[in-house]
A and B are shown apart, each in its own frame.
Chain A
Amino acid sequence: MKTDDLVAMLAAGAEVEDPRYVEKRFAVALAAGLAGASLLMVLLLGVRHDLMQVMATGMFWLKVSFPVAVIFATLSMTTRLARPGRSAGPGWLVFAMVLGGFWLGGLVTLAAAPSELRLGLMLGATWKVCTTCVALLSIPAFGALFWALRGMAPTRPRHTGASAGLLAGAQGLLVYCFHCPETALPFWAIWYSLGMLMPAVLGAALGKVLLRW
């Protein structure tokens, strides 16, 4: 086929396209990811029984603000990276600041605590399962985001995969917050970060393969 014929073929029957295609596809992926994670949590872990009481506390909302802030930062990055010729933008910086903020908070809490309580603040009661649970709950979001990205054109597959993985991890964490009984900043800073990091590393590793076009 000559290039002229290919051009004619591609142009034939051009239709009015949806200018919000990218945003809509991400919205669908985000909804699917959160719904999937919620379903998994209800089925496998259950909602914490004292949710109503803890929802009245500031600590609960501080906890929730961690994944929410990471979701905003990484959603901005991922949607930018989905389009050829765009950089990740300021999302990395926002993410770094959020992470740094929580780590700093964790360190300050540890420093202020009596030494015999420090280990407990870091390990809580659930440190062995927390990271795995967050990673597990991020699976639906991971799948949905990679599905969304495969309909787009990321030219930096590794960055895009990492960013999407982090976004999936943050969604998993957000849902996990409604189960997780831990209330200490140092615990969140360590295990929640690790939980989000797992899908991010996986995303970076799989980006080259899954996001080719």
Chain B
Amino acid sequence: MHDTKERSPVEEHLQAWLIAGLEGDAVAYRRFLDELSKRLRAFLRKRLFHSQDHVEDIVQETLLAVHNARLTYRADQPVTAWIYAIARYKLVDFLRAHLRQDALNDPLDDAAELFEQSAEQLSDARRDVAVLLGQLPDRQRLPIELVKLQGWSVAETSDHTGMSESAVKVGIHRGLKALAALIRSQQ
């Protein structure tokens, strides 16, 4: 269906960074998420003119969703289409919870539009993910805080907390899923 000969530069960059990220390259993965957040932000600002103060929240929620879904990406699929489907799913969720039915008319027209522009963050998110993180049980919160925020290795975290290394990894994985569920339940 999708032509490889007509791949946009955005598609190429994002895909290369995501694939490198899935192979363990944290720098590339960060670039991917950075670029993605700018694109999402610009797009949502244009779309959600009545709820500008929610833009950053949805950007963050979508980033978390993309991260949690990263293992469902297949290298033979355009990364823009994959992200678009996730962003659309999250945006429709938000609109359903916040807006009247008539605002539901196709929130995103196509993947290309999502990747037209990019924007730096100006406003803060209204919801503080750090606060939600604090609500997670210790077995999830500690691994996330130590590995993902303090930059410890899994082994160090395992030593410090007395959890096994696989429990640390599982804790991070489940914790980030639980975080997404907490965000969803707040809507």
Contact = CB atoms under 8 A, between A and B. Distances in A.
Interface of A: 1-4, 6-19, 21-22, 82-86, 152-153, 155, 212-213
A10 B33 contact: yes
B68 interface: yes
B85 A1 contact: no
Nearest to A18: B71
A99 to B, nearest CB: 26
A52 B42 CA distance: 66
A91 to B, nearest CB: 16
A145 to B, nearest CB: 15
Interface in B68-101: 68-75, 77-78, 81-86, 88-89
Nearest to B177: A213
A137 B124 CA distance: 52
10 contacts: A1-B133, A6-B64, A7-B33, A11-B29, A14-B25, A18-B71, A22-B74, A83-B74, A85-B78, A212-B184
7 smallest A-B Cβ distances: which pairs?
A85-B85, A153-B69, A84-B85, A11-B30, A14-B26, A16-B24, A21-B71
B72 A152 contact: yes
Interface residues of B, number: 58
A6 B60 contact: yes
A9 B144 CA distance: 8
Interface string B21-47: 111111101100110010001000000
B13 interface: no
Given A1-B125, A2-B125, A152-B69, A12 B85 contact: no
Contacts of B78: 85
Given A12-B148, A82-B72, A83-B77, A2 B121 contact: yes
Given A11-B26, A155-B86, A3 B125 contact: yes
A4 to B, nearest CB: 7
Contacts of B33: 7, 10-11
Given A86-B77, A155-B85, A13 B129 contact: no
B149 to A, nearest CB: 6
B151 interface: yes
